[in-house]
Amino acid sequence: MSPVKSALRGAAALAAAALGAGAFALPAQAQTFTPIEVFVEDYSPIAYGDAPEKFGLRIAFGDDFAEGEHDVTAVVEIDAPDGGFAIGLPDGTGSDCPANDAGTVVSCSWEDAPSASFWEFRYAPTAELASGEYPYTVTFAVDGETVATEADAIEVVGTDTDRPYLHGIADYTDVAPGSSIGIEAEVLQQAALPADTAAVVAVLSGPVYAVIEGVEVTAGYDNCTGDAWGGPGVTCVITDFPDEPGTAFALSPVDYALAADLPGPYWYCDCEYEVFPVDADGLAAYGGVTWDEGSANLMGLEASDGPGEYSDPFTGYLNIQTAAQQYDLSVANLNAKGAKDTETTVTVSATNAGPAGAVRLFDEVGSYAILGKLPAGLELVAVDDEDAVCPDAAEWADLLPREDVDGLDFVCFFDALPAGETMNLALRVKITGDGAANDGTLAVASREYEEFGFEADRSDNDAVFSVNAGGSANLPTTGTSMTVLLGGAGAALTAGAGLAFTARKRRIPSAA
């Protein structure tokens, strides 16, 4: 081979080697990776008015993915009208998923990503979005190069014209016990009524969950009945109704009266209301028209300025808080007298000085308790009171979870004690000692939550239980105080006890 050909062949070999090296040493940003896991979940269906739902994304790569050297992105594109979805981030996640102004594109990114990248954002349909399925695509990329694409759809329910009214939340505070207020519940009509609408039904309830009986709901209109979903409240059927989308309406006033003896302050009325259209069959299901449609005494819908906050197409909330009013429970000292080995009946007396009533707080067992420790030389034979609920000692710790019940001889519960009245508990006891003793104790206690502060004066909640004591009994100077404040979070664990008090409903936070 000539030196020239040899040189040319060597140059060609070097060029080929250089070309090959270039082909297999691409820049890092041009590398293509195949994911070993791709996850997309929208957790629908979701209804307008629901809490914002999460949208989860995850992509993972194998050992060939150099952690910290690549940027990973996931772009969600939703086929929905502008403004149809509100997009936001969950608190504390640090997710980098900004959305465009229209709420139709969410761009998630992770710079210098690990081998597994994940994101989460929140979304919720807005009032403008109708029921249906809204397709979306998710495009995953590494350093700008697409590595995976997923497609699915968000299912939105309950936002069509079957529920064209948005409801609000109204709070009424510092309402005096014994007074009443006329509530004009409001709605915002967000869409035209169905063409076959024959009537608009308005249902306003009393307290939905509370055991307490102290809120009466009445509406003296010809087209209203005294019932709400089978419970306290009113149902009104409106056949002369407006149809003006974008307009806020107020129902004719409904009277909410509070009992005069309610302690407070407390949110006694976690009350609800619904306004919705019905067709001819629906009108018939509500009994049809049984009133004079020309009457001047009819529940109706009138345009109003409105409070400006409407969110739920299904339910609105009316919350009533009473003004401050306390009760004052007390128990009297007690002295059992008699000869040794004889039986006698003594009466424990608990009084409520008012002005508030000690109203029923719990559904079962009782809301208030008499607790007793017998003095030395006295034995309990029986509780002679058919109305008292006196559980076995094995149940005391569960019923009174915040109290040390060791050493007590009896615990008896009762439901309520109106202001100015006295509750008597008859005990049959046997005198077993020779001398006098005043080392017994009595207490009256409420199973209320501590923070309510309904008890005006706890200093008279304790008394002395004596046997054959001369003169007036005095409180012992030693021993554990029998002052008891029951309830709190632990009382909710009481077997069979249904809490009357319930947490106030809150507005659903905006997804944005």
* 253-308 pLDDT, tens digit each: 999 999 999 999 988 888 999 999 999 999 999 999 999 999 999 999 999 986 66
193 DSSP β-pair partners? none
| Section 482-496 average pLDDT | 33
Four-residue CA torsion sign, 134, 138, 144, 147: negative
Residue 402's pLDDT band, with cuts at 50, 70 and 90, is low
Q: Which residues are within 8 A (CB) of 491 and not within 5 positions of it... i.e. 6 or more apart?
A: 362, 401, 402, 447, 449, 497, 499
The Cα-based distances of 30 to 24, 62, 147 in angstroms read: 11, 17, 12
Partner residues linked to 231 by β-bridges: 228
DSSP string, 109-123: EETT--SEEEEEEEE
Give the pLDDT score at 476.
Answer: 40
* In the block, residue with structure tokens 């939105």: 156
Separation of alpha carbons 244 and 188, rounded Å? 10
Q: Kindly state the average pLDDT of the residues 465-483.
A: 54
Is pLDDT above 90 for 25?
no
| Domains, in order of start, for the chain | 29-157 (2.60.40.3550), 165-322 (2.60.40), 329-491 (2.60.40.690)
pLDDT in tens, 91-141: 444 458 999 999 999 999 999 999 999 999 999 988 667 778 999 999 999
For the chain, the average pLDDT equals: 82
Q: Which pLDDT tens digit goes with each residue over 322-374? A: 999 999 999 999 999 999 999 999 999 999 999 999 988 777 788 888 999 99
How many other C-beta atoms lie within 10 A of the C-beta of residue 135? 12
Q: Which residue has the higher pLDDT, 448 or 282?
A: 282
For residue 24, the 8-state DSSP code is T
- Please report the pLDDT score of residue 175 as a whole number: 96
Please give the helix or strand (H or E) that residue 152 lies within, else none.
Answer: strand 145-157
Q: What is the pLDDT of residues 157-177, one digit of tens each?
A: 765 557 889 999 999 999 999
Which helix or strand (DSSP H or E) is residue 255 part of? strand 254-258
Task: Record the tokens describing residue 107, joined without a space.
Answer: 């761009």
Residue 310 — pLDDT band, cuts 50, 70, 90?
confident
**The token pair that represents 63 in the structure block:** 């050992």
Tell me the one-letter amino acid at 185. A
Quote the percentage of the chain above a pLDDT of 70: 81
Task: Calculate what percentage of the chain has a pLDDT beyond 90.
Answer: 60
- What pLDDT score does 307 carry? 60
What pTM does this model have?
0.60
- Residue 470: pLDDT band (50, 70, 90) is confident
pLDDT band at 450 (very low <50, low <70, confident <90, very high): low
E strand spans, 94-226 = 105-110, 116-125, 132-142, 145-157, 165-175, 180-183, 186-189, 199-207, 215-218, 224-225
Query: Tokens 């004596």 correspond to what residue?
Result: 466
Helix (H) or strand (E) holding 136: strand 132-142
